[in-house]
Structure 1
């Protein structure tokens, strides 16, 4: 019997593919190229602004919104339409194609994206680095797994429901990052993956955020701007919240069961290696003493304290970051005092730096994503920008459609616009002054216009790389955005299909 020829053997060996999914930073850079190209194709326009008043929680509040009839294109000294064309570089604090990452990273204030969110990520990353250095979380996970005895699946519906409720009641979003740091190792130990962690934390908050009946940052603002009684129409929204939350739980459990049965199915299997490679302490060798109890109590009290502050005191990024820094400081003192994992003062300092360092890749993505918005001129309606022109053109297009189609296109428009302005209250202030009178013109209920806004704004937060909270959560769970997109597009498509049905039915049923 003759042996196979050399050429035949060579042909049988598959050649490794040179194609790789682009890194998230590469994807964002190409989006930046697209944004820069738009500045050559779309003239810049602006709106005039006005102050409006509305009632929320029994108190009169004011907000600056755009005058929808005031749009005008900017003109140069020759009377020609103004194009804010982006060059390669721009000095004097301007934004160019090759300096948009830097400008994005240093933009904003301590109250929001980008610099506020980046510092928030670094501080809580460092704080939890100290907590993890004590070993308390790992030992607690081991005992939790031992106590559950096969009932681990209960974690998914319980946690998803709680985080969804947080998103619905007080607009929880950024806070999910801190919880994801704790939950990610637990999920891996239970046989799930980093993507499951993102689903039960950040995604759950956005499901609640989108279908909320009382969120002060989206529903209340949008209804106030649109002239609809604040927090009205809650019965339908509560039903939607229950329905969408159940859909989210079902989708997450379906995926998680598949991963547990065959870990290689995980879209984050390669990046979960970080958690799988952590040394696993046998239950019999793990410790639990007074120091561990005090560290765990510190973490739990901090989480409760932060939730109380957000709900009752209106805390935001600066206050939340300071509370988590305090948590890390107290946990470090306890760890040193009780010699947890032989912890010293220098060990605590190193743990803080290491924890903050883990956040750096995600922090870079947050800054670059904000830079894309700056390439389009920013979100100031009174400045002549490409973004304002896009907003006005979309409103004019929607205005020429039949009622039901107009309602549906409002949902689609809000979903797309959320890529550029991911802030719920910011998007409401920009779009609702246009959408509300437009709804009157085409026969769409203003309540439906608000519903289209909140569903479009909330659900696309699940996938858009310009969402600082999403990128931060993916960062702490070590899930690359490209892998996340490969997984989540089905879920987003399902949410958008259900949202379309909800908006169309609401319009047909005369939702007021």
Structure 2
């Protein structure tokens, strides 16, 4: 009897012992490892230089590193300098125990971390108002009812559209807004929130990494490398189509397996939130003029944002403002038509609740940026560990045979993306070094750009330092550990295929 009583306790203890660490714990461990690197690797720096290149007939300039200028920092006695990071730092410095705060307040409204965090809070609040009207719930039920038997079509269509968005205008952060709406739809169709992340954010990164025209990665990298901007378009279009088909096939196989056996889902527990919101499909769902106006407002706002991004290069501040305007208009409509008995006070509460849902992923974004600050913040003009890593990788690549150099360029860009997830930022840091190294190793600069874009795009799917990934996982209520348990197979598949593409492009003399 005693054995019978203690066995469940032992089982529970064993289960808890093997539980995946929370994402915050993982980020903190990464912060500790980054701190240790500051004691092992001396700080180095590059001089910067201005390069000019043409995009759509307009001349662009960018500050990049001078690959021949690297030098380790030394003190007055000629000893190497180590920018060691302690437990604490004052005066705005970075320390292990204050890297979350410094990461949270770093940057500007144009990017990580503070800009991305505020973007997340605003769109979370705006879509909180939209969800409060009940229009999305009723629309999902009607959509499910009208598409019975063809629900699987949602996956390839959505994946294709989001991949195209990533390829054409660098869609990434925008996927967060769509995931808010698509997550409950996928769960109610019998899939899970992982499927939502695949057809939204992951699809954008497939498009981003294989783009033939992305102004934030390919155009910048080619300009810096001295390659004609947007050259090699046909090869990249074929590559985009191939990788997009691979992504669609992988997602559909996974989704069909989950629909057949929901218990196999890594997010079965966290998806309970969306299942609890499910309405009784037997009841008569409300749909009136107010619901129609809400849906039209959301569609119009989406089209308006896409137009602004493509035509006027809108970014975080402008996109956030448009979605806030959408939430404001929906609040007026919902109050006027009393959707779900909505009042202006209810709209205000819904905005706050929607923003509150974004708080946890927003904190992760700040912590991830703090890890980069520990390593030097990505500045080439100040001595840092990151610059030394960059220079050492370049030296290793230059000494390899041409095929090995081409492949290792891809591997290096994939790893370096952990530290600098910005496409244009990584291009400015790595391409001035990789381009001349490609010449030395007998690799065309076009292949060097290809290695950059594949490495920069694909690892955004899994690295916890990606603000867009953590935000999308946050709105879908997926812990990064659960995502990693699912995603590693897909990442391995992408890595193998991308390696073949890079090596194959080199062998074919892609130039």
Query: TM-score normalised to the size of structure 1?
Result: 0.98
Distance across 1 between alignment mates of 2:298 and 2:280: 21
Task: Call closer, same or farther: CA 1:329–1:70 in 2, change over 3 Å.
Answer: same
Q: Is 2:486 the counterpart of 1:487?
A: yes
User: Could you say what secondary structure the match of 2:110 adopts?
Assistant: coil
| Aligned mates of 1:207, 1:60 — CA distance in 2 | 28
Q: 1:448 to 1:344 in 2, by over 3 A?
A: same
Match of 1:148 in 2: 147
The count of aligned residue pairs is 508
- Runs (5+) with no aligned partner, structure 2: none
In 2, the alpha carbon distance for the partners of 1:462 and 1:263 equals: 23
- The list of structure 1 runs, each at least 4 consecutive aligned residues, that deviate by more than 2 angstroms after superposition, is 5-16, 281-285
> Any conservation in 2 of the 1:136–1:292 contact (CA below 8 Å)?
yes
Query: Of 11, 14, 34, which residue of structure 2 is paired with 1:15?
Result: 11
* Whole-Å separation in 1 of the counterparts to 2:428 and 2:265: 39
Query: Contact between 2:188 and 2:278, CA under 8 Å: does it hold in 1?
Result: no
| Structure 1 SS opposite 2:62 | strand
- 1: CA distance, partners of 2:246 / 2:357: 32
Change (3 A) 1:144 1:60: same
Q: Matches of 1:428 and 1:508 in 2, distance apart?
A: 24
SS at 1:285 equivalent: coil
Give 1:105's aligned residue: 104
Measured in 2, the distance between the counterparts of 1:474 and 1:11 equals: 35
Residue in 2 that maps onto 1:316: 315
Structure-2 residue corresponding to 1:413: 412
**Superposition deviation, residue 9 in structure 1:** 8.6
Superposition deviation, residue 78 in structure 1? 2.0
Tell me if 1:261 matches 2:260: yes
- Partner residue, 2:215: 216
The answer for the alignment partner of 1:180 in structure 2 is 179
1:373-452 aligned at under 5 Å gives the runs: 373-452=372-451
Shift of 1:14: 5.9
SS in 1 for 2:333: helix
For the 8 Å contact 1:142–1:283, the answer to whether it is kept is no
Structure 1 unaligned regions, length at least 5? none
Q: Tell me the SS of whatever aligns to 2:61.
A: strand
8 Å Cα contact 2:294-2:333 kept in structure 1: yes
Take 1:348 and 1:49, find their aligned partners in 2: how far apart are those partners? 50
Distance 1:349 1:448 in 2: 52
Q: Secondary structure at the match of 2:51?
A: strand
Contact 1:74/1:81 (8 A) holds in 2 = yes
Matches within 5 A, 1:86-101: 86-101=85-100
Instruction: Provide the rounded CA distance (Å) in 2 between the counterparts of 1:140 and 1:6.
Output: 54
Give the Cα–Cα distance (whole angstroms) in 1 for the partners of residues 5 and 172 of structure 2: 55
Question: How far 1:76 sits from its partner (Å)?
Answer: 1.5
- Give, in whole Å, the separation in 2 of the partners of 1:420 and 1:10: 47
User: 1-side partners of 2:181 and 2:197: how far apart?
Assistant: 12
| 1:164 counterpart residue number | 163
Identify the residue that residue 40 of structure 1 maps to in structure 2: 39
Secondary structure of the corresponding residue to residue 27 of structure 2:
helix
1:117 aligns with 2:113: no
- Distance in 2 (alpha carbons) for counterparts of 1:353 and 1:42: 45
**How far does the alpha carbon of each residue in 1:267-289 deviate from its partner, in whole angstroms, 9 at most, with x for none?**
11111011011141435421000
